[in-house]
Structure 1
Amino acid sequence: MKISDFAAHSGLTPDTIRYYERIGLLPRTVRDAGGRRSYGMDDLAWASFLRKLQAMDMPMRDRLEYSRLRAMGRATTADRRAMLEAHRAALANRRDELMELIGTLDAKIAHYRDLEANMEGSSDDGSTRSNGGSGRAAPRRDASIGAARRG
Structure 2
Amino acid sequence: MKTYSISEVAKELNLTVYTLRYYDKEGLMPSVERTPSGTRLFKESDIAALKVIECLKSTGMPIKEIKTFIDWCSDGDSTLQQRYDMFLERKAHVEAQMEALKKTLEVIEHKRLYYKTALTAGTEDVHKNNKIEVPLTIE
Q: Please give the TM-score of this superposition, normalised by the length of structure 2.
A: 0.73
Match of 1:6 in 2: 9
The 4+ residue runs of structure 1 with deviation greater than 4 A are 137-140
- Alpha carbons of structure 1 residues 112 and 61: separation in structure 2 relative to 1, 3 Å: same
> Is 2:53 the counterpart of 1:66?
no
Match of 1:125 in 2: none
Corresponding residue pairs, total: 133
- Alpha carbons of structure 1 residues 85 and 116: separation in structure 2 relative to 1, 3 Å: same
Match of residue 97, structure 1, among 100, 106, 116: 100
- Higher deviation after alignment, 39-48 or 66-75: 66-75
> Is 2:29 the counterpart of 1:26?
yes
Gaps of 5+ in 2: none
- Higher deviation after alignment, 52-61 or 13-22: 52-61
Q: Is residue 31–residue 46 contact of structure 2 (8 Å, CA) maintained in 1?
A: no
1:38-70 Cα deviation digits (max 9, x unpaired): 221111111122122222322223212212212
> Is 2:64 the counterpart of 1:57?
no
Query: Which runs of structure 2 are paired with 1:1-151 in the superposition (5 Å)?
Result: 1-27=4-30, 29-117=32-120, 119=121
Say which structure is richer in helix: 2
Gaps of 5+ in 1: 122-136
2: CA distance, partners of 1:97 / 1:11: 27
Q: Is residue 21–residue 28 contact of structure 1 (8 Å, CA) maintained in 2?
A: no
1: CA distance, partners of 2:122 / 2:30: 67
Higher relative contact order (CA 8 A, sep 6+): 2
Q: Please give the TM-score of this superposition, normalised by the length of structure 1.
A: 0.68
Higher Cα radius of gyration: 1
